[in-house]
Structures are given as C-alpha cells and as structure tokens.
Amino acid sequence: MKRFQLPKNKVTQVAINVAFIVIWEELAGLIVEIIWKTIGELEFFNQDSFLVLITEILFLILPILSFTYWIWWGKNFMAKKIK
C-alpha cells in the first residue's frame, strides 16, 4: 500500500494549506452552528459561557494548526516506524 505523498514544491504546499483552511472554516462554521442550536435547546450552557468559547476556539484553531504542522514539518515524524 502506497503512502499518501505530499508534493515537495512549497507553492503547492501553501495552496493545499490555504485550501484546507478555507474548507475547514466553512465546515467548522456549519458544525458550530449545529452545536449552538443544540446548546440553546438544552439550556445547559449559556452562549456567553467561557467554556463554550474555549471549545469553539479549540475546535476551529486546533485542527488548522495540526494540519499546518503536519504539512510543513511533520512528514518525517509521521514516517518513523516504531521498533
């Protein structure tokens, strides 16, 4: 089975990274909207809650940061085999 290989061209890497960020922002926006609706129906948290704000920031930012790290610097780390 052949591994997923990313291009070594930096312009292509930037294009992939930007495309992922745009797609993730749209997808995350839809998911967060569903979460807000569910939170509103449950009335468990208010929408001004600090916990909800932290969750939303982590849900939006953490995947973008981890993907960016992987695409630029993490390829060698991912390719190492456990002995």
pLDDT digits (tens, 9 = 90+) for 11-69: 988 999 999 999 998 898 888 788 777 777 776 666 566 766 777 777 888 888 888 88
Give pLDDT, residue 3: 64
| Contact by Cβ (8 Å): 17, 71 | yes
**CA-wise closest residue to 30 among 4, 59, 1, 5:** 59
43: alpha, beta or left? (left if phi > 0; alpha if psi -120 to 50): left
- What are the residue ranges spanned by the domains of the chain? 10-73
